[in-house]
Chains A and B, each alone.
Chain A
Amino acid sequence: MLFKPLDLSTALRPSLLPDETLLFVQDAVGLYEGKYKIPHYQDGHAYLTSHRVCYVAVEEPRTHSVAIDLRDIDKTEYQAGFLKSSPKITVHPKPPKNSSGSKSTTLSRSQSPRVQSSGSIVKPSASALVNATWICPICTFSNPIPSNFDPSTATATNIPPCLACGIKPPFTTVLKAAIAAAAASHEGTSINSAPQGGGPDTAQSLVSCPRCTFVNHPSLHECEICGASLSSLLEAPSSQQHRAESPAPLIQLQGSIKNTEISGNIRLSFRGGGEKTFYERLKGALVQRKWLLYNAPPVPQQPSPTTALPTNGLVSPPVRSPAPGIAGLEQRGLEARRNNEVVIGNAFEDLEALMASAKQIVTLAETLARESGMGDENSSEASAVLSESAAALGMVTTKDMLSSGSENLYLSELSRNLAEHLTDDTKGILQKEGGIISLIDLWALFNRSRNGVELVSPADFQKAAELWESLRLPVRLRRFKSGLLVVQRYGWSDEKTIQQLQDWLQELQQTPPAKPTPWDWRQFGHAITAQEAAQRFKWSVGVAAEELEMAEDRGILCREEGVEGLRFWGNHITSHDLDSSISNLVI
């Protein structure tokens, strides 16, 4: 397995790949290789995404951050905390593809006193689905799920019918069964390994069926009662309980651990809790295998008359008939509509299913939006909103992603999240607002981008914004005299604003007014209002008013209250060029 270098975003979080979603974050995590602590990687954030496990150290995050691809992970193990040893999650790497199974076993044995790596015995993909059955909703017969069934790429049309009654099951039933079975098989492993560590004799003799709990004879490969496969449980004794010594010795490493080939297992030590959720989500991510989706083609393609029919997963080949002419086109249209119906129907049937087919739905929605708003200006906006919402599905930190009680972690993650959201050049929120935006506006914008799900409370939002300073993020929170809170880039200062204002005032002294003024415009220029300033600098009016008052406070501007409202002028009351002319008048 390889420690991959990790790209960090401006807010010092892992920058996600396209389609990658963030699943869980936990702080106070240490990294072990085998039994040895890895220096500099003992206090950091562990990010679980749909594609990777990322680790970012608190100290010097730019140099000390690594990622492990989930696709390189063979299996994972959970180990509860004991006395001074923190709970740990062990990640077993897949054996190298070119070397044989036995070779990898001996290799890993020489590295650590661990017995038999799972590589030679358990086939990772097969073991995940060995026990999978789905119950037919019509006749309640338990059907096996085909071994090549993949929850992420499977579609509604290619599921085999029930073996007993011949009726096709709903897609979601099979999908849920597959996920549940895969999760259960992992759990079964860890549960069963526990008693075997204590008393190997009794555990060897009896094997409890994971489905019906019947205790079978160890030599049986299938359950006597329900016929469920017991093979994965029989291999379970090979995985040994690891007893951690704490404090563990540090491993000696030369240079960076990035791109280092790790043959032993990696362990994540959870000193601040959160290990259970992390483990569950990790198992879920390993089962879903979202990284496969990365290269998968978008499913519901609209057939166009000029191109040949795409090899579409949803349209089953026998239905397609090579009808020529208009009839053929009509038939294709009909097929496409039916296809869309199936996709939409399946997706909204169940939340889990919706999550699994989110990509299809977004693609479909984009297609529909493109068609409905053809040539319209709204279409680009709408699709932008859609793609944004798709991105928002994965980008944001929600409370759900963090274990309960870790309020600080939530806030710091939210804070980083916000900083990323703000500094993202593709959205250009700060540029659009002239480099400054009030916190309330930002709160509204941010929550809108979350599509009304997992909204951030104003209190949390403010607390998160106050953390920017301490987290050294590239944005800062500023409080105006009136108490208005605004968000600015870190490098921005009052002096720069004043410079901008002065440049503007000078410009006004050079441009003749539209209509004659009773005052000398060459000397005094013109009045500026908050509205004009807002327009010129693309600030919001509230921010503009505050900035003008700030400049007034510094003696750069002075105010004029009249029937037209509050207007600001360059400060020609204190300026010295007039003093001389006045003092001539006085004696």
Chain B
Amino acid sequence: MSNSTSFQFPPTYSFPPFFTPQPNSSTRLSQLQKWSSLIQSWCRHHRTYRLSLVEAIESPLFHNSTLRKRIPLSEARNILDWMAESEEKGGGGRRAEWIDGANKTMVWIWWRRPEEWAGILADWIENTGQKNVVLTVYELVEGEATMSQEWHGMDVDVMMKSLSVLVKRGKAQVFGNEGQEGVKFF
């Protein structure tokens, strides 16, 4: 969250009714969609994967200090609940996921879903010719080779989730102890 000043908020962010839950269902849907986009782009800009709700509602994301408007905790939960629903159920396409279940204080923000990360990883392996090469997870996340890649500095849990997707697809194998995992791509 070091470079928060450079984040360009969408114009709707300075529209006061944006911070009030709308009773009209179609307006509400657009409102939720816009919030979802805003949260995703905010988290992407700040390379945030897990969002602490208590911190977030004090951050500029949910608190517009120029308008002196904020999203209260309950409303933030509603928005994230909506994001966590799949699109078939009228939600935001599982762009969020509660980490601590019913407590609803920590949330994954999937500006890229693990499946998407898995695809990107696989492409990268292919393009750099590293098939059948064993890499450590630390190497993947913090290594010099991945400095230019989008997932550099990624949350290790997110990386593990993405890798497990690849494992399920039969494109990778994860081995080793916890904290020292290695991965082999096929």
Give A contacts to B, CB under 8 Å. 518-520, 523-524, 527, 552-553, 555, 558-562, 567, 569, 571-574, 578, 581-583, 585-587
Are B27 and A519 within 8 A (Cβ)?
no
**Taking the complex as formed, is B37 at the interface, i.e. its CB lies under 8 A from any CB of chain A?**
yes
Interface size on B, as a range, is 20 to 34
Could you tell me the distance in whole angstroms from the C-beta of A528 to the nearest C-beta in chain B? 12
The list of the 9 closest CB pairs from A to B, nearest first, reads A560-B17, A518-B66, A574-B30, A585-B41, A519-B14, A558-B17, A560-B16, A582-B10, A561-B20
**Taking the complex as formed, is B162 at the interface, i.e. its CB lies under 8 A from any CB of chain A?**
no
Known: A555-B27, A569-B17, A573-B34. A520 touches B11 (CB 8 A): yes
**Taking the complex as formed, is B24 at the interface, i.e. its CB lies under 8 A from any CB of chain A?**
yes
Could you tell me the distance in whole angstroms from the C-beta of B45 to the nearest C-beta in chain A? 9
Further contacts, 6 of them, CB under 8 A, given A523-B11, A567-B16, A585-B38: A518-B66, A559-B22, A560-B20, A569-B16, A573-B15, A573-B34
Are A518 and B30 within 8 A (Cβ)?
no
Are B37 and A582 within 8 A (Cβ)?
yes
Contacts of B26 in A (CB 8 A): 555, 574
Contacts of B41 in A (CB 8 A): 585-586
Pick the residue among B23, B37, B44 that contacts A559 (CB under 8 A).
Answer: B23
Known: A518-B66, A519-B67, A586-B41. A559 touches B17 (CB 8 A): yes
Are B24 and A553 within 8 A (Cβ)?
yes
Give B contacts to A, CB under 8 Å. 8, 10-12, 14-20, 22-24, 26-27, 30-31, 34, 37-38, 40-41, 44, 66-67, 69, 111
A572 to B12, CA, bound (A): 8
Contacts of A586 in B (CB 8 A): 37, 40-41
Contacts of B38 in A (CB 8 A): 582, 585
Contacts of B12 in A (CB 8 A): 572-573, 578, 582
Are B14 and A573 within 8 A (Cβ)?
no
Could you tell me the distance in whole angstroms from the C-beta of A489 to the nearest C-beta in chain B? 27
Could you tell me the distance in whole angstroms from the C-beta of A437 to the nearest C-beta in chain B? 26
Could you tell me the distance in whole angstroms from the C-beta of A525 to the nearest C-beta in chain B? 10
Pick the residue among B10, B23, B24, B30 that contacts A585 (CB under 8 A).
Answer: B10
Are B34 and A582 within 8 A (Cβ)?
yes
Known: A552-B23, A552-B24, A585-B41. A572 touches B34 (CB 8 A): no
A523 to B18, CA, bound (A): 14
Contacts of B67 in A (CB 8 A): 518-519
Are A585 and B16 within 8 A (Cβ)?
no
Are A573 and B69 within 8 A (Cβ)?
no
Q: List 21 A-B contacts (CB under 8 A).
A: A518-B14, A518-B67, A519-B14, A519-B67, A524-B15, A552-B23, A553-B24, A558-B24, A562-B69, A573-B12, A573-B15, A573-B22, A573-B27, A574-B26, A578-B10, A578-B12, A581-B11, A582-B10, A582-B12, A582-B38, A586-B40
Could you tell me the distance in whole angstroms from the C-beta of A513 to the nearest C-beta in chain B? 13
Contacts of A519 in B (CB 8 A): 14-16, 67
For B112, the closest partner residue in chain A by CB is A587
Could you tell me the distance in whole angstroms from the C-beta of A524 to the nearest C-beta in chain B? 5
A582 to B15, CA, bound (A): 14
A581 to B10, CA, bound (A): 7
Could you tell me the distance in whole angstroms from the C-beta of A509 to the nearest C-beta in chain B? 13
A527 to B69, CA, bound (A): 15
For B40, the closest partner residue in chain A by CB is A586
Are B14 and A558 within 8 A (Cβ)?
no
A562 to B21, CA, bound (A): 12
Are A585 and B8 within 8 A (Cβ)?
yes
A520 to B41, CA, bound (A): 22
Could you tell me the distance in whole angstroms from the C-beta of A488 to the nearest C-beta in chain B? 23
Could you tell me the distance in whole angstroms from the C-beta of B10 to the nearest C-beta in chain A? 5
Could you tell me the distance in whole angstroms from the C-beta of A575 to the nearest C-beta in chain B? 9
Are A578 and B11 within 8 A (Cβ)?
yes
Could you tell me the distance in whole angstroms from the C-beta of B77 to the nearest C-beta in chain A? 18
A561 to B71, CA, bound (A): 12
Contacts of A574 in B (CB 8 A): 26-27, 30
Contacts of A560 in B (CB 8 A): 16-17, 19-20
A524 to B44, CA, bound (A): 28
A471 to B170, CA, bound (A): 78
Could you tell me the distance in whole angstroms from the C-beta of B7 to the nearest C-beta in chain A? 9
Could you tell me the distance in whole angstroms from the C-beta of A440 to the nearest C-beta in chain B? 25
For A523, the closest partner residue in chain B by CB is B11
A553 to B25, CA, bound (A): 9
A578 to B44, CA, bound (A): 20
A154 to B22, CA, bound (A): 73
Contacts of A569 in B (CB 8 A): 15-17
Contacts of B8 in A (CB 8 A): 585
A571 to B106, CA, bound (A): 32
Could you tell me the distance in whole angstroms from the C-beta of A559 to the nearest C-beta in chain B? 6
Could you tell me the distance in whole angstroms from the C-beta of B119 to the nearest C-beta in chain A? 14
For A524, the closest partner residue in chain B by CB is B15
For A518, the closest partner residue in chain B by CB is B66
Could you tell me the distance in whole angstroms from the C-beta of A60 to the nearest C-beta in chain B? 46
Contacts of B44 in A (CB 8 A): 587
Known: A520-B11, A552-B23, A559-B22. A573 touches B17 (CB 8 A): yes
